[in-house]
Structure 1
Amino acid sequence: MDIEGALDTIQHCQKQIDYWQAQQVRALGEYAELTWQDEFASSEIAAMMRWTRNWTEDRLGVSRDLVTRLPATVDALEKGDIDLYKAQIIHTQTMPLSAEQAAEVEQRVLTKAPVQTSVQMRQRGRRIVMSVDPDGTRERVAEKKAARAAGIRSLEDDMAMLWINMPADKAMVSWLRVDKMAEEAKFPGDTRTLNQRRADVIADLLLATPDNASPVKVELLVTVSATTLMGLDEHPGELEGYGPISADLARELAGDATWRRLLTDPASGVPLDLGTTTYRPPAHLRRFLWARDKTCRMIGCTARASRCEVDHTIPYPKGPTADHNNGMFCTHDHRLKHESGWTITQPRPGTFKCVSPTGRVYTREPEPVLPGLH
């Protein structure tokens, strides 16, 4: 294959991808239309496709909107004039609009979308939305300002990203201040790049280091094997809410952490049995379940176990309050277990068998406390 042949193949494959993604959008939209009154309908697709529930519900919502309100966008996707990413941008930008306004924005955006990059299309779409719905734009600006927020996203290799959603003017002023402080932070012999100094400036501002001790105290929950802690091996540890961390960082954090002994099976890494005679799980059993389950036990759900609810697989008192009859489920999936046609059992401690209303069977096995060891 020569260069021309490679280019033609790339373009042909993208056209095929666009066509089949349009077919999936139509099918997802139809499913959403047929099941829109069923609160737990997304769980079937999430389990079948091994998608998370949030991702599934997002795909269903986007597809339903595209099929019912933005049919020209789906047609353009099917023909390969735009890709799925551009279709999703049009959906996002027209979500707050009336059907008539959405149709006008769609028609105007699609006139140039096939020859624009996604960034160009998004910028043009924003301007069109503002011109079509100026009053709504003012309301949305106020709503978005009230919804300002911050969070954290895990990255690879002991790194994470802090993010903040805030008004553009304050964001730009904050960024320029950080940038100026980073410029002034350079000293003779300083080998840090400007980006590294920016990151250090932000961390110092938040942590009040190195000159001032921060009055805010936080606790890091870290799991590490005893052999790693003693330097006998280099197995990765686990930082709750983040995931695997290097042996070096685990040992560093161990110096300031509060430790509780957690017995694990030496072959599988799964915690051993704990039990009690009361309905409400005591603190030690709850911590045990957090460590064993890590996340909600429903197929496709990744909600952190420490933010989930303890569920009795067999209702108490018929079923005991013990690890082999308890599991962590988020509020949504806890209700799914009791209020829908799903059947969830625990044939072995930590192993959950989920049978959907259509009879499909999905199994979620327990995860080792320190996956890297097994």
Structure 2
Amino acid sequence: MCSTSIPEAGEAQLRAQVEQLERMKAAAAAAQARATALWKAKRHAAEIAAGVPRSRRGRGLAAEVALARMDAPGRGGRHLGMATALVDEMPYTLAALENGQLTEWRATLILRESACLSLEDRRRLDAELCADPTRLQGWGDARVEAEAKRIACRLDVAAVVDRSAKAAADRCVTTRPAPDTMVYVTALLPVSQGVAVYAALKRSADTTFDDRTRGQIMADTLVERVTGQPADQPTSVSLNLVLADTTLLGDDAEPGWCQGYGPVPAAVVRALVSDAVTDKRAKATLRRLYRHPESGELVAMESKARTFPKGLAAFIDVRDQTCRTPYCNAPIRHHDHAHPHHRGGPTNAVNGLGECEACNYAKEAPGWTVSTSDDDGHHRAAFQTPTGATYWSTAPPLPGPPIRTVSVMENGLSIDIVTFAAA
């Protein structure tokens, strides 16, 4: 093991320590891959012995792997597939990772570029690229990826072309928060369409002359062509923008929360609401929500229906914000019963969970159990995996000023007054 850095160490010693720690990270990734592959083999053998049908074997294992790595369950399949490929199919890449000559990400790039090849060709690529790991010295991500792609094309160009043709099925649009109350909107498109979109925006910037920059013109044009309204028109606030009434009225500077984005500064929240209220072309609706006086979480709702009614589903969306499986960052797609409805689970806020599609299906695998509780206003969910591990998630509190307890003296007695605001 590498000792902890000490203030007296010289720069050369610290540089050597950084290098050693990087090699240790790579070696740990290789050891983790071996353990994951062995876990998969043991689970497979146990399911065969238990008579689990072939079509149901391995269900939920990827999600378990992700939870064990404190990662989003949606990435579990990648971790599991990478471990299997490294251990069973690409020994030279695994050795380079163990020796610290490849980082985990660069090993992932090699695996990704070889995924479309047959087992025989994948092993050829592995040997050609990594049998002599010293040639990898000084290679960055782009060089490793390009070399793996070049070899793959030479070994089986038809497979590479076929994969490219099928990739169009993965086209999608996603968002993620950016600094300073901005957001990245990313479109994954076939190359011809993506280039055409960018060229159209660029053409608009080339023919527009005002005080905006080229980038601003391209961004505004994108908004106008997608939404059908001018970029400077206030947006109708119909996006579950949650804030405390005290924040809305300017009594505090606590941030609000926007579904699909996250925390939003108080000044920006007030501006969004103000624009939507004062501009006749936009509209805003108001829904009152109340926080628990201790935890700050939402109060409960209940229904006797099997499916979650619209209002209760919206309640769960606001309370959970993202998929409630630990470490998952995906948006909510399903409103699920933690204790299954067919086993007597109620359709209420305590038993309800917001889940992404993949996590909802993963926990239906044999050996998984999910339970929920609501103690002192804290909505908690416990996910127990087939190996007996338990992972917890707690619903985040609503935005707004913190709950305050103020002590006052009256007639010689000390009285605690709890103050809190509705959200």
State the TM-score, normalizing by the size of structure 2.
0.77
Name the structure 2 match of 1:26: 34
Per-residue deviation, 1:97: 0.4
Are the equivalent residues in 1 in contact too, given 2:221–2:231 (CA < 8 A)? no
Q: Residue type of the partner of 2:166?
A: E
Q: Which residue of the partner structure matches residue 168 of structure 2?
A: 145
User: Aligned to 1:363, what secondary structure does the other structure show?
Assistant: strand
- Residue number among 310, 320, 335 corresponding to 1:309 in the alignment: 335
The alpha carbon displacement at 1:219 in A equals: 3.7
Amino acid across the alignment from 2:184: M
Q: How far does residue 233 in structure 1 lie from its aligned partner after superposition?
A: 1.4
SS at match of 1:261: coil
Q: CA shift at 1:3, angstroms?
A: 4.3
- Secondary structure of the 1:324 match is coil
Alignment of 1:1-374 (within 5 A): 1-36=9-44, 37-110=57-130, 112-187=135-210, 190=211, 192-210=212-230, 219-254=238-273, 255=276, 256-305=283-332, 307-311=333-337, 313=339, 315=341, 318-348=344-374, 350-370=379-399, 373=402
Between 36-45 and 154-163, the greater mean CA deviation after superposition: 36-45
Letter in 2 for 1:118: D
1:308 offset after TM fit, Å?
Answer: 1.3
- Aligned residues, how many? 369
SS at match of 2:373: strand
Percent of residue pairs bearing the same amino acid type: 24
CA 1:118–1:296 in 2, change beyond 3 Å: closer, same or farther? closer
Question: What displacement does 1:221 show?
Answer: 2.0
Any conservation in 2 of the 1:157–1:246 contact (CA below 8 Å)?
no
> Displacement, 1:105?
1.9
Could you tell me which amino acid in structure 2 is paired with residue 91 of structure 1? L
Using the TM superposition, give the Cα deviation of residue 75 of structure 1 relative to its aligned residue in structure 2, in angstroms. Answer: 0.3
- The 8 Å contact of residues 72 and 327 in structure 2, kept in 1 or not, is answered as yes
CA pair 153-318 structure 1, distance change in 2 beyond 3 A: closer
Deviation at residue 373 of structure 1 after TM alignment: 4.5
**Match for 1:128: what amino acid?**
I
Aligned position for 2:406: none
Q: Structure 2 unaligned runs (5+)?
A: 1-8, 45-56, 277-282, 404-423
Contact 1:152/1:162, CA 8 A, preserved across alignment: yes
Alpha-carbon deviations, 1:24-83, whole Å to 9, x = none? 222122223333532112343444443221123321211111111111101011112222
- Write the letter of the residue equivalent to 1:210: P
Displacement of 1:339:
4.4
Check conservation: 2:326, 2:391, Cα contact below 8 A: yes
| Contact residue 322 and residue 330 of structure 2 kept, 8 A | yes
Q: Deviations over 1:305-337 (max 9, x none)?
A: 3x1123152646845432233333444444555
Q: CA offset at residue 371 of structure 1? A: 7.4
Q: Taking structure 1 as reference, are residues 196 and 19 closer, same or farther at Cα in structure 2, changes over 3 Å only?
A: same
TM-score, length of structure 1 as denominator length = 0.86
> What residue ranges of structure 1 are gaps of 5+ in the alignment?
none
